[in-house]
Amino acid sequence: MDAMAAIKQTFFQECEEQLGELEIGLLVLQDGDTDPETVNAVFRAVHSIKGGAGAFNLDELVHFAHVFENVLDHLRAGRLAASGDVLKTMLRAADMLADLVRAARDGTAADTGRRDTLAAELRALDPEAAGKDLDSGHQDSHGDDLDGPVFEAVPISFDDMEIESTPDEHQFIIHFTPKPDLYAKANETALLMRELCSLGEAVITCDFSRLPVLEELDPEGSYLSWSIELRTVQDENAVRAVFEFVEWDCELDVAQVGAAQGLDDMALEALIEKMQATVEAELAAPEVPPNDVQASMDEPLAAQAGSAGQALGNPPGGKPDAGKSSQATIRVDLDRVDRLINLVGELVINQAMLTQRMLEAGLARASGVATGLDELEQLTREIQDSVMAIRAQPVKSVFQRMPRLVREVAVMTGKSVRLTTAGENTEVDKTVIERLADPLTHMIRNAIDHGLETPELRAAAGKPEEGLVHLSALHRSGRIVIEVADDGAGIDRPRVKAIAAEKGLIAAEAPLSDEEIDNLIFLPGFSTASTVSDISGRGVGMDVVRRSIQALGGRISIRSKPRQGSTFTMSLPLTLAVLDGMVVTVAGETLVVPLTAIIETLQPKADAVHGFGGNSRVIAIRDQFIPLIDVGHELDYRSGFADPCKSVALLVESEGHVRSALLVDAILGQRQVVIKSLETNYQHVPGIAAATILGDGRVALILDVDAVVAGSRVAATGFEQLCAAG
Amino acid sequence: MSKIVLTVDDSRTMREMLMLALSNAGYRVVQAEDGMHGLEVLKDARPDVIITDINMPRMDGFGFIEGVRGDDLHRAVPILVLTTESDAMKKDRARRAGATGWIVKPFDPIKLVEAIRRVAA
């Protein structure tokens, strides 16, 4: 990728950030905030997008951003009030701007109809809108170029000239007297003179006459002036352009000598010769060699305060090194970070192996080696946490997408919705964030579509017409917890139960607790909407949401109160690179069971285990029958069945709120393990999620609890009947 | 030794573009993200030229220029202002704050370097 393409990529990334800022700013303004800095931030966001788009010639983007920026400028200057309607239009314009950015990024076409409508709406807000249209906006923005430093050579054609001559030269006499301000602003006469020299042939004379005696000299004063004779093919504008930066801070007189056009070439030449001779004669008096800008400039400049060491062609030695940049952030290739994470993973494994070897060698816990190893373990853990933190990002990037979604769904459903967020800066692994967007989108849609009532119903229930959806994130015991709460009607439990029964998901008379009914919505095939609506429908149910959360090693739960609303709570690991697991043995093999899946462990007693048709068995745990799954048999580690009384049962909860008891031979302990993909390194193994390397160097497989449970026939056919049987 | 340019701009895109154009022209570049950051950077850095944006969070370009001109160590450093606006008002304000000159965005790398040469040898 060439440098410009890389910068373009940065630009689009930055656009996304700016769009986020823009939206947040507009929403804050909508809440009645009148902080000028908020308005400024909003303006800056659009202004930045326009600026960058201009650099990449993204004209469509520039046009729209320009129109938007104009209106924001009026807002900023107080010529336009931030009323609700104005902000609504601006929010829609922000959405349009986002679409245009993405269209430019992806090379797709944007909805030009909507763009033009919105541009017209924006212009209608402009209190000074005197028929300015998109095109004039365009010209305005590009007209900027015309004000740039004028340095280009003016193309002149001599072909048409009848007389044979050198290029059409002009002669200028320039008088230049800087004011002290010119130096205070770090402008340099020497550089101006050099530039004049670059236009043609210049003879420069310095006038020292105003220079006071040393005692009276103000180091910040300006006592010198200059006269310059310039022969150049450039016109007067080009000459004046040299003084563009200083024209307020000096006295400048530029006079063209003779009207060159009317003069015979030879005559002109002679005139110039003569003038030059005169000037040179004058110059000979003060011992300043003519034509030598540097020599004439260095001395006087040294007397000028504030310009020390900037003299032409004379770089002052021993400048302090300024290479110490204090950038707050650096951008690093993700691959590098991942490599580091991988290496740290290896380090963790290596450290565990060392510890194990030490135990095997029978070294005392108090020995120096053991203490050293303990410290190493501590350090390794800290390094691991720090490295993981590099990949961590605030959930803000996902949360930022939600206000737009809420607006769109609100319009589609005809509901009035207000989204509030909290904890946007909570950090979690980048991969988790990326895979969070879809489930979160779906949950928000659901909250508005199914959770919130229509304004009429809300009014009838004595609630404000505007429904509330609250999105929050926080860290809790090493995990990130994300909640989507609404203040709607809550889960309609009789209806949910009826639907579940109707779809054959439960028996009609199954005595379920409120919590169990609420959890029915996570069952595959459950959808409360009688018609598949445009919003929540799309063939995706809460079961898919739950599955995607579980795929991230997370859990989702629901709390609901009739007439007060529902809250969905997702709890996710902070990283996908390590996992807290329970290390168990099954038929001589060592397996790791993710700790998140395990509810409790127990020792089955003979009278609690019952046969249940065929080879299936159940275990009675506190008046509930739970299917007993022999992991060794399920994974084909052994053909027969283990004796439950000599085994340990892990009570696990898997997909669809199904509880099962996994039978394993023994528990070795709990450990944080580094996840190694089996698919990448070997191939997919049924019932196994991934692998890890244990302290003794052996590979241990990480159990895929959902797959094992689903694979067992008991879970597939028996659970509902069990529920029915109570 | 190549000259050092301090660029002060809140836009990463603009900072990268400046970095590209300036390093291609043989300058060493020090970056800051806003005026406040720029003044912090100046505690360590000794740039030969400063290029600053106007509209920035925390401290805008005007405040930054005034800060530099009020600092005995850096008051003589030429400051070029980046502006998308041809707005004379804005230029005038920057000038009164002590700006040495300006560069109009979107900038042409050649003009950028020319502008720098106009204010720093």
Higher pLDDT, A385 or A471: A471
Q: Are the C-beta atoms of A556 and A522 separated by less than 8 Å? A: yes
Residue A73's pLDDT band (boundaries 50, 70, 90)? confident
Asked if the C-beta of A318 comes within 8 angstroms of chain B's C-beta atoms, the answer is no
State the first-to-last Cα distance of chain A, in angstroms, to the nearest integer. 64
Residue A590's pLDDT is 92
Out of A109-113, A401-405, A700-704, B62-66, least confident range: A109-113
Helix, strand and coil percent figures for chain A, each rounded to 5: 50, 20, 30
Asked if the C-beta of A315 comes within 8 angstroms of chain B's C-beta atoms, the answer is yes
- Scanning every residue of chain A, which has its alpha carbon at the shortest distance from the alpha carbon of B9? A48
Distance, in Å, from the CA atom of A468 to the CA atom of A488, rounded to the nearest integer, reads: 8
DSSP strands (E only) in A635-687: 648-654, 658-664, 666-674
**Buried-exposed string A171-191: b where 16+ CB fall within 10 A, e elsewhere:** bbebebbbebbbbbbbbbbbb
Average pLDDT, stretch B66-85?
Answer: 85
Cβ contact A321–B76 (<8 Å): no
Average pLDDT, stretch A1-18?
Answer: 84
Cβ contact A11–B77 (<8 Å): no
The pLDDT mean for chain A works out to 77
Average pLDDT, stretch A597-608?
Answer: 87
Out of A162-166, A429-433, A683-687, B12-16, least confident range: A162-166
Chain B: nearest CA to A14, how far in angstroms?
A: 7
Average pLDDT, stretch A434-439?
Answer: 85
Nearest to A195 among B32, B78, B118 (CB): B118
ipTM: 0.82
Residue A538's pLDDT band (boundaries 50, 70, 90)? very low
- Partners of residue A320 in chain B, C-beta under 8 Å: 46
Interface of A with B in 245-264 (CB under 8 A): 245, 248
Residue A584's pLDDT is 94
Residue A555's pLDDT is 80
How distant is the alpha carbon of residue A274 from its chain centre? Answer: 69
Out of A133-137, A190-194, A410-414, least confident range: A133-137
Please say whether the dihedral angle defined by the alpha carbons of residues A101, A106, A112 and A114, taken in this order, is positive or negative. Answer: negative
Residue A701's pLDDT is 93
Distance, in Å, from the CA atom of B98 to the CA atom of B61, rounded to the nearest integer, reads: 11
Residue A272's pLDDT is 64
Asked if the C-beta of A4 comes within 8 angstroms of chain B's C-beta atoms, the answer is yes
A183, pLDDT greater than 70 = yes
The single-letter code of the amino acid at A583 is V
Report the CATH superfamily, name and number, of domain B4-119.
Response regulator (3.40.50.2300)
Distance, in Å, from the CA atom of B104 to the CA atom of A149, rounded to the nearest integer, reads: 8
Nearest to A325 among B30, B46, B106 (CB): B30
- Scanning every residue of chain A, which has its alpha carbon at the shortest distance from the alpha carbon of B71? A306
Distance, in Å, from the CA atom of A117 to the CA atom of A300, rounded to the nearest integer, reads: 62
Residue A232's pLDDT is 84
Cβ contact A7–B20 (<8 Å): yes
Going from N- to C-terminal start, the domains of chain B cover 4-119
